[in-house]
Copies of this chain bind each other. A is one copy, B any other.
């Protein structure tokens, strides 16, 4: 969440001398996000977002920053990181790894309709296609290995019926053949709060920004589609809304057609994506890391989504 590490204005003003974006005009903490300390920074030349990375290693950050740069320069509305005068994206501020990115315009839409979902589907396909030419590789930090490990860690905290659900799902996922599915750089967290919408010339909302790539990694593209559908297309009780999910999937399919293997794997991927968020929320709930003021989200939402995806999933478009 929000701001863990305070940044005094004089420290930032001095740090900005390493950049060519002018002098500091205003600094404001952002009360959103669950991982890092984020700030809006206004200078004499523009508007930026400053992130101080909390609990991430300096070694893993170039993957994210260069991915954002790659997607941005391939024409997608992803905040490009700002290079300093030494041509580097990653600096150090208040003893934390720190980076500036462009501030994109727009606001989140928390009640999307099928029109929004279609644009999100097309954009996700665009991210996947542009990501295919990204040269770096770092595995999805919340991929299959993490899921098995986290399942073991939370297992004993769960009531009996949830343990049975978890054991069965981990066993089921182990049977899924992922090797035949197209893979690449995925966002892995394309929830409603990570898409910024602006109103265009034609009065139709369009996507002005896709943000927060700090869960990105190499994984099957269909897993990313499943993460996105589970958030954008679920009703409050966790069921898939047919109009929204059909719109999202058709628009994705129009940009990057699904393969036959992906159609087969679709129900399993929706379950894997639900499992991933059930597990991370259960871990945050039962195993909070000391000293962190993380906003704990209710794990039950994704437990229910997992249960519902086991019983009934409409097919992918072909």
- Contact surface of A with B, Cβ cutoff 8 Å: 19-23, 44-46, 48, 69, 72-77, 80-87, 100, 102, 122-123, 126, 129-130, 132-133, 206-207, 251, 254-255
| CB atoms of B254 and A46 under 8 A apart | no
User: What are 21 A-B interface contacts by the 8 Å CB criterion?
Assistant: A20-B126, A20-B130, A21-B75, A21-B126, A22-B122, A44-B251, A45-B77, A46-B75, A46-B76, A46-B77, A69-B73, A73-B80, A73-B82, A73-B83, A74-B82, A74-B83, A74-B84, A75-B100, A80-B80, A85-B129, A85-B133
| CB atoms of A21 and B74 under 8 A apart | yes
| CB atoms of B126 and A45 under 8 A apart | yes
| CB atoms of B44 and A255 under 8 A apart | yes
Give the chain B neighbours of A48 by CB distance below 8 A: 75
With A44-B122, A133-B87 as contacts: A74 and B20 at CB distance below 8 Å? yes
Other-chain contact of A22, B84, B102, B126, B132 (Cβ < 8 Å): B126
- A86 CA / B129 CA spacing, docked (Å): 12
Give the chain B neighbours of A255 by CB distance below 8 A: 22-23, 44
Interface centre among A20, A123, A254, A255 (most CB of B within 10 A): A20
| CB atoms of B75 and A82 under 8 A apart | yes
Give the chain B neighbours of A74 by CB distance below 8 A: 19-21, 82-84
| CB atoms of B75 and A45 under 8 A apart | yes
Give the chain B neighbours of A102 by CB distance below 8 A: 75
- A44 CA / B256 CA spacing, docked (Å): 13
- A251 CA / B126 CA spacing, docked (Å): 41
What are the 3 closest A-B residue pairs judged by CB atoms, nearest first? A20-B130, A75-B82, A20-B129
Give the chain B neighbours of A76 by CB distance below 8 A: 20-21, 45-46
With A126-B45, A255-B23 as contacts: A80 and B72 at CB distance below 8 Å? yes
Minimum distance in angstroms from A304 CB to a CB of chain B: 33
Give the chain B neighbours of A80 by CB distance below 8 A: 72-73, 80
| CB atoms of A123 and B45 under 8 A apart | yes
Residue of B nearest to A72 (CB): B80
Residue of B nearest to A21 (CB): B75
| CB atoms of B73 and A122 under 8 A apart | no
Residue of B nearest to A122 (CB): B44
Given contacts A20-B126, A46-B75, 12 further A-B contacts (CB under 8 A): A20-B129, A21-B75, A45-B122, A45-B123, A46-B76, A48-B75, A69-B73, A73-B81, A73-B82, A74-B84, A85-B132, A86-B133
Other-chain contact of A23, B83, B130, B254 (Cβ < 8 Å): B254
